[in-house]
Amino acid sequence: MKYINKKLVIEKTSIENIAKKYGTPTYSYSYDQLRTNINNFKKSFKSFSPLICFSVKSNSNVNLIEEIKKFGLGADVVSIGELMTAIKAGINPKKIVFSGVGKTSNEIIYAIEKKILLINAESKSEIKEINRIAKLKKKKIKIGIRLNPNTDAKTLSQISTGKKENKFGVNEKTFIDLVKYCKNSRNILLSCLSVHIGSQILNHKPYERMLKVIDKIINKTNYKFEFIDLGGGMGITYNNKNRKLDYKKYNFAVNRFLKKHKSKIIFEPGRSIIGNTGTLISKIIYIKETKNKNFIILDAAMNDLMRPALYGATHKILPSKKIGKKTKKIYEFVGPICESTDKFITLKKFQKLKEKDIIAICDVGAYGMSLSSNYNLRLKPLELLIKKSKIRVIKKRQKYKDLI
Ligand code: LLP
């Protein structure tokens, strides 16, 4: 996104024109940004060409996943719904990994029937269940075991997953026991060690520590894993204060690891692929002035974008037109939902705004639409993909008849 002739544009299309034609609130994705992100990701790790499995939970729009597939990516899924979506988008099942602590028997059966690459199991009970189903189907199924490396990802506690108090994966001792257990399970072929320590990680050091733990455990088990799945978690810059993840250092650490262990690396990135491609376009309904603050009441709300209410996350807000006039007043950008947490950001010295103005909430491609809900019985927004000057509706706005 940039300003051209003082107008905010996504790949040449002004957000005002988008708002006029398609209404608000609307999610708009930039194809150009998506392509750049995928190419950069591939380039960062090209020395060992990993299998890149896009994390569908970050954005489950089937049309976007179809575009992502065209770059050769696979998918990381955590439910039968996500698995169906990935397959519908045309992703080769041999590039799909299935994560999650609570896969049901039906989900395991479906994954086996679709012949996906790996089911990453997270407990002994789950391994037993996979073995039972595989035996009934007279098949030998490739699985991974998710290790909890007890590594602090130095990110928000709500999105940290690799510490011993988290529900994810198994600890070192259990992991070693389960490797032995798998060797004796006739319908299972243990092929992968998987980890995922958290999301929005901006410091490479937790990844280095995680790799050290994996190295130690592989040495202890003395087992040859065909795949090492390092999960996702690569963070993006939501504001100027954010540091940037040093991909060179992460790449260096993986290469050092691969000198000792010859395995195929899998990554499961979500946010780093799709996060900064998405913008939520919204209209100001009312401006409510008080002595200390102006409440800018938007037509987008916490049901459309949950991250600020759920994690205290900040997303930049930009006006559709740059007029240069700044006000000294404090602006609190809120939605119409009946909750005090329905607020996006508080800003000082922002450009003067008026009712009916259009604004953009930035970097909402990941965990934006996928976390949206119908709270307050609000309709889910429309989604658009902008490719050069072409605009394509990739999901229609929900209708009341679907809801009521
Ligand atoms: N693999 C596994 C097993 C995961 O649990 C996740 C994310 C990913 C990969 C992708 O992580 P990413 O590259 O996107 O960081 N709703 C939160 C983020 C939750 C992440 C959950 N797991 C947010 O809006 O910040």
How confident is the prediction along the chain (404 residues), in pLDDT tens digits per residue? 899 999 999 998 999 999 999 999 999 999 999 999 999 999 999 999 999 999 999 999 999 999 999 999 999 999 999 999 999 999 999 999 999 999 999 999 999 999 999 999 999 999 999 999 999 999 999 999 999 998 887 777 777 777 787 888 999 999 999 999 999 999 999 999 999 999 999 999 999 999 999 999 999 999 999 999 999 999 999 988 778 999 999 999 999 999 999 999 999 999 999 999 999 999 999 999 998 889 999 999 999 999 999 999 999 999 999 998 888 889 999 999 999 999 999 999 899 999 999 999 999 999 999 999 999 999 999 999 999 889 999 999 999 999 99
Whether residue 37 has its Cβ less than 6 Å from ligand 1: no
Task: Note whether 169 and 230 are within 8 A (CB).
Answer: no
State whether 133 and 156 are in the same domain. Answer: yes
- Dist CA 222 CA 240 (whole Å): 45
Work out the number of other CB atoms within 10 angstroms of the CB of residue 140: 13
CATH number of residue 161's parent domain: 3.20.20.10
Tokens of 274: 């799709």
Cα dihedral 207, 210, 216, 221, rounded to 10, equals -120
> 282 to each of 15, 23, 142, 220, 374, how far by Cα in Å?
9, 9, 46, 54, 17
- Give pLDDT, residue 352: 92
- Give pLDDT, residue 242: 77
Active-site option among 53, 182, 192, 338: 338
Residue among 102, 36, 52, 96 at smallest CA distance from 231: 52
State whether 174 and 38 are in the same domain. Answer: yes
State whether 291 and 364 are in the same domain. Answer: yes
Task: Note whether 394 and 319 are within 8 A (CB).
Answer: no
Rounded to 5°, the CA angle 244-36-317 comes to 60
* Amino acid, single-letter form, for residue 92: N
Q: Pick from 273, 293, 323: which residue ends a domain?
A: 273
Which domain does 315 fall in, by range? 2-29+275-403
192 is annotated as an active-site residue:
no
- Nearest ligand 1 atom to the CA of 156 is 25
Residue among 308, 363, 373, 370 at smallest CA distance from 334: 308
Whether residue 100 has its Cβ less than 6 Å from ligand 1: no
State whether 121 and 200 are in the same domain. Answer: yes
State whether 266 and 377 are in the same domain. Answer: no
Q: How far is the CA of 136 from the centre of ligand 1 (A)?
A: 33
State whether 117 and 139 are in the same domain. Answer: yes
Q: Pick from 273, 308, 324: which residue ends a domain?
A: 273
Task: Concatenate the DSSP letters of all residues of 295-345 into one string.
Answer: EEEES--TTT--HHHHH-----EEESB----B-SSEEEEE-SSSSTT-EEE
- Dist CA 67 CA 185 (whole Å): 39
Q: How far is the CA of 63 from the centre of ligand 1 (A)?
A: 20
Q: Phi and psi at residue 224, in whole multiples of 5°?
A: -95, 110
Rounded to 5°, the CA angle 90-92-96 comes to 110
State whether 257 and 296 are in the same domain. Answer: no
Length of the chain: 404
State whether 87 and 205 are in the same domain. Answer: yes
> With a threshold of 0.95, does the pTM exceed it?
yes
CATH number of residue 383's parent domain: 2.40.37.10
Whether residue 315 has its Cβ less than 6 Å from ligand 1: no
- Dist CA 203 CA 197 (whole Å): 12
State whether 149 and 221 are in the same domain. Answer: yes
Work out the number of other CB atoms within 10 angstroms of the CB of residue 150: 17
The residues near 70 (Cβ < 8 Å, ≥ 6 apart) are none
Strand order in the sheet with 7-10: 2-4, 7-10, 13-14
- Nearest ligand 1 atom to the CA of 161 is 5
Residue among 105, 112, 140 at smallest CA distance from 126: 105
Tokens of 363: 């970097």
Residue 26 gets which letter from DSSP? E
Whether residue 159 has its Cβ less than 6 Å from ligand 1: yes
The pairing of beta strand 293-298 with beta strand 118-121: unpaired
Q: How far is CA 372 from the centre of its chain?
A: 13
The residues near 385 (Cβ < 8 Å, ≥ 6 apart) are 28, 29, 31, 63, 64, 67, 391, 392, 394
State whether 118 and 183 are in the same domain. Answer: yes
State whether 236 and 341 are in the same domain. Answer: no
Task: Concatenate the DSSP letters of all residues of 171-200 into one string.
Answer: -HHHHHHHHHHHHT-TTEEEEEEE---BSS
Q: How far is the CA of 55 from the centre of ligand 1 (A)?
A: 7
Q: Phi and psi at residue 16, in whole multiples of 5°?
A: -65, -40
Structural domain count of the chain: 2
Q: Pick from 213, 239, 273: which residue ends a domain?
A: 273
* Amino acid, single-letter form, for residue 44: S
- Dist CA 120 CA 370 (whole Å): 22
Task: Note whether 117 and 142 are within 8 A (CB).
Answer: yes
Rounded to 5°, the CA angle 315-292-356 comes to 55
Q: How far is the CA of 302 from the centre of ligand 1 (A)?
A: 19
Tokens of 53: 């499995």
Full 3-state SS string of 115-166: CCCEEEECCHHHHHHHHHHHHHCCCCEEEEEEECCCCCCCCCHHHECCCCCC
State whether 130 and 260 are in the same domain. Answer: yes
Classify 229 as helix, strand or coil: strand
